[in-house]
Structures are given as structure tokens and as C-alpha cells.
Structure 1
Amino acid sequence: MFKSSLYKIVYNNCKRLKVSKFYSDSCMFEIDTTYYCNKDNEKEIKHNIEIRKGVGNIRKVLEVYEELKDVKISDKKYQPLREQLHFELEKLPNKTHPLVTGYKEDPVVIHTINSKRTFSKEPFEFSEITEKLNIMRTDKLGITCGNRSYCYLGELAEVEEALIKYTVSKLLKKNYLLISVPDILPHAVLKGCGMSPNSNRTQIYALDPTLHGPDLYLSGTAEMSLAGLLMNSIHEIKKLPLKLAAVSRCYRAETSSVVEERGTYRVHQFTKVEMFTVTTPDHSDQMLEEVRKTQEELFTELGLYMRVLDMPPHELGAPAYRKYDIEAWMPGRKNFGEISSCSNCTDYQSRRLNIKYIDGNTKSFVHTLNGTACAIPRMLIALVETHQDTKGMARIAIPKVLQPYLNGKEYIGKNKSIPKLKILKLKK
């Protein structure tokens, strides 16, 4: 019954998604003027922008709002001023959880999971192991691939599929509805999720408008597609929370010169299983804890040593009210690396995408949350480095929970099916 009701919600939403110009083209979302345009909140909002190292000018917002305060909505003469107000409001970040507001530069460690593995010999890095076993290639990929690209070969590619199947099976048992999503999205959806597709520092790939039409972009995460699916929808309160999951390719124009992010730690495209939930405002804090608990359960069984972090304000993206990161110890790198995060975006996205719930005769904006269930490249780094055999790098142990998805295999060995490529010197 639970799953069928979820299917009905999504089906009805899909029928309802005749996107209005008000919310898609002009992006004139319904504003929380009670808070943002109240002079009594100016100091608090300004402080929030500063501690989050965000952009936005609350003074400008209040000045424009003051000019419009007594103007009738029907007066079209002031439409440019209304658009300016929305433009200024769009730049403001979400509120910050009161507890997080007091954090300094460093994240707060909530707790650690599992114990750190000890090695009799110096552990090897992921790139060294995969090179030795011939199970990954990051160069000589052909003319269609460039920097920060990769190919998993043989059994490592099998582990990738096993991780996806393991993760999805766990989420289905927790009543998540699996959705297959598109990887090409319009500007309105990305902007509604809090992204800035056309800014100078964007990580989003834009398709050539002369070839593919205007305002089309490659998705950086399934969160965007799932949020877009619910755009301009109304949900019955008794049908919430709505829990969705998706497996998708993620495209990001990543750049980094940080040594800790070398290799396949930060790449241009990767596979990820994403969770996206919709709930009422009074349950979103509780839902964030539930999403985090789900992540912890998924990763604990993989045998990784991890720490769970409550992130400080300057680490929050504009949409996030609160964010947890989970970092796994990567023995070869001798460092922790982020493998997952989850965020409560409260009504930041739902206001921009017009997603509401109805309680009696009252319609209110939902709260949206997202969380990474499995990001393949970093998960593989942590798994391979943690479960490596340091005696000659002959094999990698497969966690027991993944073995059923690998026909009972207990180890990854050397790939002998696909030969290593050799550079040939051609005579002129």
C-alpha cells in the first residue's frame, strides 16, 4: 500500500506538471517577506550572509521593498522594481540552523564509525593498486575523454554495479521509490534548486545553444531531476513524507590543484545513487537525522572507518539549512575523504519550484532534503584502500554484503582479459 501510494503521488504530479511561466521563465517565486523584508531581521540576515561567506545585500532588499510596500500589484509600472526585488532576494542564502550558527571554522565531529584498520606494511594508494591489478585506466582513453576521466575494467566495474545494486536494495526496503531520471535539464530547474548555471564559477556543463536549443544543461546530481519532477505540485499531508531515490550519471566541471583531491577523487562524470525527500516543516529536522542514519547503515557494513561531521556555516551551499558530511579514512592517502553528505534545504527549493502540501484548506511549502547514498569513485577509493592486500598487491577483499551481488566473489584479482596499452613510436 505504501509503495502504491507513492506511485500515485508521482503519477499525479507528472500529470500536473504544466509549468507556469510565473515559476519557470521569470522565476518570481513566492517570497517569505514576513522574514526577509522585516527591518527587525536585517542584522540577523546580514550576519548569516557573512558567516556563510555568501553573497547578497539585505540592505538593498529592504530599500527596494520599502518602495514597493504601498504599491498595488495591478500597477504594471512597478514591474521592473518587483523583478529587481526578486533578483536581490534570489541571491540570499537560506537561514542557518541555530546550533550551526555558533560553529567556527572547523566542522563538529558527531561520532566515528568502525575502527581504523592496521597494516603490517605501508598501505598503497588507490591509483597504485588499480595500476598493478590493471583494473582502471585514467589515460589513453581515446579522443572523447579528457582530464579527470576514467574507465573501470573487469572486476572493478563489477564492484561498481554491485555497490549500486546493494544501495538500491537497501533503499527499497526503507520505502524509497526508485525513479529513473534525465541527465539534461532546463535552466529553471537548476536555478530552482539553488544552482547558478551561468555564473563565472559554475561547475555546470551547458549544452551549445546553437546546436541543442537554449538553456539546457547536464545534471550535476539526481537531486535536481527529482526536484524538477515535483515542480508546481501539491501533496496531501497524509501522503508525506515522500521518499525518492535515483541512480544517475553526474556531470561536473571540476577543477582542483589540491593534492588530497588527486586522481579520481574529483572527476568530471561519475555514477551516484541519490536520496531526495519531501516532508512538512515540523518534521524536516527529524527527516535529516533519518537520512543520515540511512547513510551510516549503508556504509557501516562496508567496513570503512568513518567520521560524521556537522558542517559549519561557511561549508553550507546557499540552499542548505544544515548539512552533515561523512568522511571515510583512506589508508593509502593517509587522510579522510568525503564520501557522502546530506542536507536539509527547508523551503529554499520548494519556494523556487512551487512545491506545496495541503493540510485541510491551508496550502504551505514543503521542506526538501537530499542525501548521497553512494558516490562511486570516492567509495571505491575508500573500499580498495581499506580492503587491500599489502603482500604484493595481489588482490582486494570484497565486503561480505557485496558478495551476493558479485556471484559470491570474495576477492578482486589481477585483470588479465584486457591488456595494458603501450605507447608505440611510429616512424614518420
Structure 2
Amino acid sequence: MLRRCLSYRPPVNVKNIFQKGITVRWVQTSGHIEDDALHQIPPQLNYSHLVNNADTIEQNMKLRKYDSDIVQKVKQLFGTRESIMEKKQQLTKERDETNQLIRSAHNKEERQQYIDRGRHYKEQLKLLDDKLATVESEMSAHALLIPNDTHPETPIGPEENAKILKIVGKQRMEEGLLDHLTLAEKLDLVDLGQAAKVSGSKFYYLKNNGAWLEMALVQYAMQKAAEHGFSAVITPDIVRASIAYGCGFQPRKTEASQIYDVTTASIVNTSAPKMVLAGTAEIPLAGMFAEKMLKEESLPQRVVGFGRAFRAEAGHGSAEERGLYRVHQFSKVELFVVATPAQSDGVLEELRKLQEDIFTELGICFRVLDMPTEELGASAYRKYDIEAWMPGRQAWGEISSTSNCTDYQTRRLDIRYLSSQFKEQVGPKDVRVPWHVKEKWVDFCHTLNGTAVAVPRVMIALLETFQRQDGTVEVPEPLRKWIPGQPKILS
């Protein structure tokens, strides 16, 4: 198998490499491969599956409130593609026959006649190739808007149809409790006014013990994940748009994008690829595995990443969203797992159990929800949300979620694994095996993600849950060692 990687340097005269019908363009410039060509990952979509299951997929999209007309458009374009391929195959056959006649021509006039016919076939094939490229590009663009399948146990409908799986802890219901913003300003933990002057509304400064509380939450979550076998990662916050879209973070046609674009083009480099700020560390964590072939025996692979999350859309300024509840930028510790299809359902429950352990240990009252179809993002096959009871609001607020994305992201980022049975069948020798032999032992991985700690939301729950009558706040025991002086009370 040809691996597309930075260390590979193709011969100077190589223009295209064909692998499984996918074209990968290499451009040789001063000993380096053109940067933009390297990072365009062709999605490995199963168009036959989409077409053969169009009615089921269309119904799934309706349940998830997606434009289901896309499916029929893909089906139509697939039929057009098949027709072009058939014409191309027939013309290629006739061209090859003509080439044979050129070689066996009896005289110059007869030979010229066949050459003219061959030239005609060449022109027709070029037109078909151009048409095929246009159709395939349009078909891919539409197919990439189709969301993942949905777990059969997922509730149907809007958010209010979420199924409550459990409630942990006791809700504080007494009167006179302060909201987190009042508490944070009284304790000099936050400054929204000055942040609005510097960056705009929905930004904030965390100060004094507010800053230390964020650090403590990050350290605590990273350590908890490490204890459960997760490898630590600090992720980049700027990623290629193609990676973000490959993870399923492109907006629906009827929605505004939550993604911040980053302009990188300049007079010197006008062809720079489109870059965006990561909306979650899930995106660069998934990118860590892009275009990789993993061994089945190495799965599942667990990583925990710390990064900043950037969201351009941050609510409508309602009373429920004041303060830190919905902001443009926040710190987050993200759990990410690459697994085999057989492992992914079990891994999803493991992620949920770890999240429950974190919030139970912090002393937060929370509930676990099996989210309904209309609340699933494009990549999610099944999603659990965890909502904390926020006494200052006297309402539940989402603090975490975890999703099984099955092969939705891995088909778009080309993340596969080689079956452990491959060595048993081929033998232990380290030999080069042709791709057509190896292919039957290769499948796409599944990816899963979960929020360990989204700092502002968890801070809200902690401040409001552990507030005391005098306006001070008790610090949960697991966090104290990461705050200078190890205070038990914030005052």
C-alpha cells in the first residue's frame, strides 16, 4: 500500500498516483511536495451504500431535521456517473481496437484514417473525463452533507424528548441562592466588562482564584483521564477547515456557522489553505490520526487533549445565558478514542462512566440524558448529555456530552485499521503485500469523543452548588491541591 506521508518523495515525473480510484495530486517543487496538495484528504464515502439505502437514509435525515432532498440528488448524480463510466469504458474499448488497427494498417492512407479516428476517441474521452470530474465533485459535495446513521434506541424528536437515564446527587432548592456571576464578581474571580472593551461581549477575564480554579479543573480532568489509560495531548487551536469539516463541523444550510475563519492568505502566499479556530479539541485530536493505518491489536487508542474552544455563535443574551454560560472562547479537556467497530459501543459506555465519576467526585448534582434525533450533530450516531443542576438558575444546564461517531469521521479523514487476522493468513514475515491482497483485511475505525471538563460551565455549577450563606464558596476537595495555599473556602 502506498502511504501518503511527508517522508514520501515521488519521482520528479510523477503527476498522479491512483489508489482505489482516488486521485492524489503530487507537485514536485524544489524537492518538496506542494503543501496544499498534501493536506487535501479525499473522503472515502460508500456511494453504493448511500444509493442502495436511499429511502432509509432519507427517513433518518428527516428525523434529524436535515434537508432530505440531498439523498435523491446524490442518487441522481451517482446514476449520471455510472452512465458516463459506461460510455467511457465503451469508448476506451473502441480506441484500443483502433490502436490495433493503426499497427496493422496495410498502407499510409488506411493508417491515417485510423489515426484520425483515434484522435476523435481521444477528444471524446477527454470530454467525458472533464464531465466525470464535475459530476463526482458535485456528488461528493452533496454526500458530505448527509449525517451519520442513528442508533435504534435513540429517542425521536426535539430536545424535550431526551430520555433521562439517571440523576446523581441532590438538588439545592432553597431560596436566596446567588447566581454564579454575582458570586464571581463578589469574590473578584471574573471581569466581563473590561473583556468586552478588549474583545467584545461574551468574552471574559478570569482573575485571582478564578484563574487558579480553571487550572485546577484542567489538571484534575487530565489526571483522571490519565488514570484511565488516556495519553495526554496539548492540541493546536488553529486547524485546516478541511479537517474541521471532516469531523462534521460544517453548518446545515439553514444555520449560521459557529466556526471562526482565520485569514492566512497574503500577497506572498495567496494559495494558503483555509484555516479555522477549533470549536473543540475533538477536531485536532481526530486530525492526529488522519490518513493513518492502525493495527487492530493497538486499538482502542485513547487520548485526552487540552485546548481552547472557539464558538462564533454564543446565544442571544438571555438571562439564562448571562455570565460564563455561553461564551465565544473557553478551555476544555476533551476525551477522544479511536476503536474498532466491535469496540465502539463499549467504549461509549466507558466514556460516560468516566464523566460520571468526574462530576460525582466534584460533588455536582447532575443527570444523564440519551439525546433525541434532532439534537444529534452530523457525526453522532448516539449521544449522551450530562446536565448539572445550577442552583443560581434553578435549572439544569449542559456541562458535558459524549458521542459515538462510528465511521463518519474516519471515512472523511481516512483512518483505518489492519485486522489482527492478516498476519495469521499472510504469515509473520515483514514482506510487501499488494494492496488488493491486503484490502480485504482493512476496515475503517470508529471514533468517539467526550467532554471531561468544559471549564466555564463546570465553574458555574461549582460556584452555585458550593456557595454559602455569607457569599463565600467552598472548594471541592479534589481541586484544592492545585490552588495556591490549598484553600477550602474562596472568600
- Answer yes or no: same fold by TM over 0.5: yes
Q: 1:51 aligns with which of 47, 63, 66?
A: 63
Q: Residues 26 and 147 (structure 1 numbering): CA distance in 2 closer, same or farther, change over 3 Å?
A: same
Shift, 1:30, TM fit:
1.4
- Which residue of the partner structure matches residue 61 of structure 1? 74
Identify which of 228, 233, 238 aligns with 2:292.
233
Q: Which amino acid aligns with 2:409?
A: Q
Is 1:35 paired with 2:52? no
Report the Cα distance in structure 2 between the residues aligned to 1:17 and 1:109, rounded to whole angstroms: 51
Q: How does 1:47-126 map to 2 (within 5 A)?
A: 47-56=59-68, 57-69=70-82, 71=85, 76-77=129-130, 78-100=132-154, 102=156, 105-119=160-174, 121-126=175-180
Match of 1:266, SS state, is: coil
Aligned to 1:408: 486
Q: Percent identity?
A: 36
Q: C-alpha separation between the residues in 1 aligned to 2:282 and 2:8?
A: 17
Q: Distance in 2 between matches of 1:29 and 1:283?
A: 23
Of residues 222-231 and 196-205 in structure 1, the stretch that sits farther from structure 2 once superposed is: 196-205
From the superposition, tell whether residues 334 and 271 of structure 1 become closer, same or farther in structure 2 (CA, over 3 Å). same
Deviation sequence 1:32-74 (CA, Å, 0-9, x none): 2342110xx2221111111101235111111111222351688
Q: Which amino acid aligns with 1:215?
A: K
Do the aligned partners of residues 331 and 24 (structure 1) sit closer, same or farther apart at CA in structure 2, a change above 3 Å counting?
farther
The CA deviation string for residues 207-240 of structure 1, in whole angstroms up to 9 with x for no partner, is: 2244584401111111110111111001000000
AA aligned to 1:358 is L
Task: Say whether the 8 Å CA contact 2:195–2:201 is kept in structure 1.
Answer: no
Matches within 5 A, 1:8-407: 28-38=42-52, 41-56=53-68, 57-69=70-82, 71=85, 76-77=129-130, 78-100=132-154, 102=156, 105-119=160-174, 121-141=175-195, 143-196=197-250, 201-211=256-266, 213-257=272-316, 258-359=318-419, 360=422, 361=438, 362-391=441-470, 393=471, 395-406=472-483, 407=485
Q: SS where residue 263 of structure 1 aligns? A: coil
CA contact (8 A) 2:351 2:402 kept: yes
* 3-state secondary structure, aligned to 1:381: helix
- CA shift, 1:326, in A, is 0.1
- Deviation of residue 317 (structure 1)? 0.7
- Between 1:128-137 and 1:191-200, the stretch displaced more is 191-200
Whose RCO is larger (CA < 8 A, sep 6+)? 1
C-alpha separation between the residues in 2 aligned to 1:50 and 1:288? 25
TM-score, normalised relative to structure 2: 0.76
Cα deviations by residue, 1:151-203 (Å, 9 ceiling, x for unpaired): 11111211111111111111111110111211111121111111227977111
Over residues 352-371 of structure 1, what are the superposed CA-to-partner deviations in whole Å (9 max), with x where a residue is unaligned? 00000000141111000111
Counterpart Cα distance in 1 of 2:5 and 2:334: 20
**2:172 aligned counterpart, secondary structure:** coil
CA contact (8 A) 1:181 1:222 kept: yes
Q: Is the 8 A contact 1:68 1:82 kept in 2?
A: yes
What is the CA distance between 1:31 and its match in structure 2? Answer: 1.6
How many residues are treated as equivalent by the alignment? 397
Mean Cα deviation higher: 314-323 or 43-52: 43-52
For the residue of structure 2 that corresponds to 1:332, the secondary structure is: coil
Q: How many Å separate the matches in 2 of 1:240 and 1:91?
A: 29
Task: Check whether the contact 1:17–1:230 (CA below 8 A) recurs between aligned residues.
Answer: no
Task: Report the 3-state secondary structure (helix = DSSP H, G, I; strand = E; otherwise coil) of the residue aligned with 2:183.
Answer: helix
Residue 314 to residue 197, structure 1, CA distance change in 2 (3 Å) = closer
Q: Which runs of 5+ in 1 are unaligned?
A: 1-11, 414-428
Measured in 1, the distance between the counterparts of 2:383 and 2:324 equals 24
State the one-letter code of the partner of 2:321.
Answer: E
Question: What displacement does 1:14 show?
Answer: 8.5
Q: Cα distance, 1:262 vs. partner? A: 2.1
Letter in 2 for 1:281: P
* In 2, Cα distance between equivalents of 1:134 and 1:76: 66
Distance change in 2, residues 1:143/1:214 (3 Å): farther
Give the unaligned 5+ runs of structure 2.
Answer: 10-22, 27-36, 90-127, 423-437
Is contact 1:218–1:251 with CA below 8 Å preserved after alignment?
yes
Please report the RMSD computed on the Cα atoms of aligned residues, expressed in angstroms. Answer: 2.6
Asked whether the 8 Å contact 1:387–1:398 carries over to 2, the reply is yes
Name the SS of the counterpart of 1:92 in structure 2.
coil
Tell whether the 8 Å contact from 2:173 to 2:391 is kept in structure 1 after alignment. no
